[in-house]
A and B are shown apart, each in its own frame.
Chain A
Amino acid sequence: MSQIAIDKPTADPSSNVPPKRKKRDIPYSMRVQGWDALWIVLFLAPFVLLYGGFTLWPLIATVMYSFYDWNGVGPLTDYVGLQNYIEIAESPSFWNAFFNTLVFATVNTIIKLPLSLFIAVLLTQRWMWAKRIWRTVFFAPLVIPVALAGLMFDFLLNTRGALNDVLLNLGILERPIDFLGTPDTALVTLILISVWQIFGQYMIYWMAALQNVPETVYEAADMDGANGWQKLIYVTLPMIRPVAVIILFLSFVNALKVFGLVAATTEGGPGQSTYVVSYFIYNQAFRDLPFRYGYASAAAVLFGVTVLLAVSAQGYFVRKVGQEGN
């Protein structure tokens, strides 16, 4: 009797571990038959071609260009080996841009994710009033082109702008501050503007994650007598942890690509206090004469590889700690 009871769960087809699928077990509808092969090629072609051309190839080409001295015109002939990398590694303005970009992405993520999670939790509560309106409000800044948002804040935050007007009238400031024109405040200001801009997107990500937690889990928690707060801490947050890791990475990687905002407001200044890597690349490749594609590419690769290593090391340690915790 007990033997049967023990055996039963493993025989249950709905158990968590799916049986390993052999080739002939592929469902009828998923098998490729007759003309299907041609259709599959046809269906994949548009995406694969465009993706190959505009995402994969550029990644490979960037690595390739980085070994050449090249101004963007004519064939790649001047192979210089690691020369570009050596020059980059010795360039203080690159490392400054590197550091600024990391600070930008890190602080941006640290401010943005918890706040947007908080708002998302609030806006998915059933008892909450007028959720649609608030959702639209927090989403709204996303619809302003980032370059225009930059110009707008340029105006709002200068010495005669609205913010200084308010702060002076309230007596908080004695003299106006040019928030984007002062080295000490420029980067922080940019970070806050970009949080404001992108907030809605991450709020939507969190809302999607939160609404995916099955209702039955909450019912079970209700039966155990959990209150709203306990449900959030002990049920919701652990349930969305896998998605949270993805959101965290997306946020960080996307923040590293900051360009339009910097181009529209500070152009890297004052001095080099808001100089970021993508703006450095743009300057080297398209603005400062002579154009140096190879050099700019080396900057892109060096930055990408360093960050990737740092992030994967971090991911590795986080996972390790997580496993030990269990």
Chain B
Amino acid sequence: MAQQAREPRIGFLRRYFRSGRYFWLNLTLLVILLVVSFFWLYPFLWVIFSSLKTQRDMFTSGARLLPDEVWEWGNYNRAWTEANFNVYFMNTVIYASAATAIEVVKSSMCGYVLARYRFFGRRFLYGIILATLFIPIASIIIPQFNLVRSLGLLNTRFGVILALSGGAGALYVLLFTSFFSTIPEELFDSAKIDGAGFLQTFLLVLPLARPIIGTVVIFQFMSTWNEFNIPLVFTLSRPELRNLAVGMYAFQGEYSVDWTGFAAGTAMSIIPVLLVFFIFQGYFVRGLQGAVKQ
């Protein structure tokens, strides 16, 4: 019994070193992948190292990564304060968190109802949601712009959040729907017999959807963090409402000389999203896996 408990640890080591059958193949792949990922990640390395160079150094260094003179930490300072980076950063945090929260709430609720109840118009709604995923209209930003303007929300944070969370979500609803329809009916039956109400039942099964929630959080947070078109058009006359992508883009236009400040800004904007990915990546593939089944 005790020996069995120790088994996984030995199995882990065995997987890495004793499986001679794949040892050389793995070693070869390791070398190849190391080289590939150096080139793959080179732009990242370049940005991070550039953010520590002086202007002159950056322009003359070509492909070299390491700064040759001093390490210029002042770039971060400059990007953070002079380029309004702190403002853009806070805006982006607000946009991305709010839009992600709204997305999770509304798509889980909609997916739950679509999966669990048979009501009039259910198939129609499902069909429409599915169909719009594949409509190749290059841009629907003009009517979105008009809608937000007629609501009086143009050039407000709320308007941007509304547009960011309103335009997405079809895929997420489908993910939640197919997940909730894999939950056995007996669970709902017994909850109902025990007297759980509608809301109680929903809150009971929502934690089961953790993989889907993780997937939605990653995808939605990432895409709103990086969103360019909507914040650009919706904050044209209020620069202080810009998000990082638009702000950095404008930054390059206004201070076209300050490339190291730009690099520092980019490096800072990458970190939060990487954190979200690291935290949620465990759920990620599992969440999509369940969804593809349907």
A residues apposed to B, CB below 8 Å = 26-32, 35-37, 39-40, 43-44, 46-48, 50-51, 53-59, 61-62, 65, 72, 101, 122, 127-130, 132, 134-149, 151-153, 155-156, 160-166, 169, 196, 204-205, 207-209, 211-212, 243, 249-250, 252-253, 256-257, 259-260, 263-264, 276-278, 281-282, 285-286, 293, 296-297, 300-301, 303-304, 307-308, 311
Contacts and interface: CB of A to CB of B under 8 A. Distances in A.
A151 B50 CA distance: 14
Secondary structure class of chain B's binding surface, majority of residues: helix
A137 B147 contact: no
18 contacts: A39-B199, A44-B125, A47-B173, A54-B166, A72-B142, A138-B40, A140-B41, A145-B228, A151-B262, A153-B43, A165-B62, A205-B288, A256-B138, A257-B139, A277-B138, A286-B233, A293-B142, A304-B136
Given A27-B185, A53-B166, 15 more contacts: A29-B116, A29-B191, A50-B166, A61-B146, A136-B278, A140-B274, A145-B228, A148-B244, A149-B43, A151-B248, A152-B46, A162-B62, A277-B138, A277-B139, A304-B138
B146 A72 contact: yes
Given A58-B144, A208-B288, A253-B136, A50 B47 contact: no
Given A148-B269, A205-B288, A43 B109 contact: yes
A54 B43 contact: no
Given A65-B142, A72-B142, A146-B228, A122 B63 contact: no
A243 B174 CA distance: 14
Secondary structure class of chain A's binding surface, majority of residues: helix
Interface in B125-164: 125, 128-129, 132-144, 146-147, 162-163
Contact of B41 (A43, A137, A204): A137
A289 to B, nearest CB: 14
Contacts of A58: 140-144, 147
Contacts of B191: 29
A136 B226 contact: no
B85 interface: no
A48 B106 CA distance: 9
Number of chain B interface residues as a range: 35 or more
B105 interface: yes
A51 B134 CA distance: 15
Interface of B: 15-16, 19, 21-22, 25-26, 29-30, 33, 37, 40-44, 46-47, 59, 62-63, 102, 105-107, 109-110, 112-113, 116-119, 125, 128-129, 132-144, 146-147, 162-163, 165-167, 169-170, 173, 185, 188-189, 191-192, 197-199, 202, 222, 225-229, 233, 236, 244-246, 248-249, 252, 259, 262, 266, 269-270, 273-274, 277-278, 281, 284-285, 288-289, 291-293
A264 B246 CA distance: 10
Nearest to A285: B142
Contact of A30 (B46, B146, B185, B244): B185
A129 B140 contact: no
A129 B116 contact: no
B112 to A, nearest CB: 7
A93 B43 CA distance: 33
B137 A303 contact: yes
A71 B192 CA distance: 56
B277 to A, nearest CB: 7
A304 B139 CA distance: 9
Contacts of B244: 145, 148
Contacts of B43: 141, 144, 149, 152-153, 156
Contacts of A205: 288
A264 B144 contact: no
A208 B40 contact: no
Choose among A128, A155, A166, A207 the residue with the greatest number of B CB atoms under 10 Å from its CB.
Answer: A155
A25 to B, nearest CB: 10
B292 A212 contact: yes
Given A62-B143, A129-B30, A196 B40 contact: yes
Contacts of B236: 286
A162 B65 CA distance: 9
Contacts of B225: 143, 145
A293 B33 CA distance: 49
Contacts of A307: 136
Contact of B107 (A47, A55, A282): A47
A46 B106 contact: yes
A27 B46 contact: no
A35 B22 CA distance: 60
A40 B245 contact: no
A149 to B, nearest CB: 8
Contacts of A65: 142-143
Contacts of B192: 28-29
B168 to A, nearest CB: 9
B198 A35 contact: yes
Given A196-B40, A204-B285, A297-B142, A46 B198 contact: no
A57 B142 CA distance: 11
Contact of A147 (B110, B173, B249): B249
Nearest to A125: B22
5 closest Cβ contacts across the A-B interface?
A54-B166, A165-B62, A29-B188, A208-B288, A58-B143
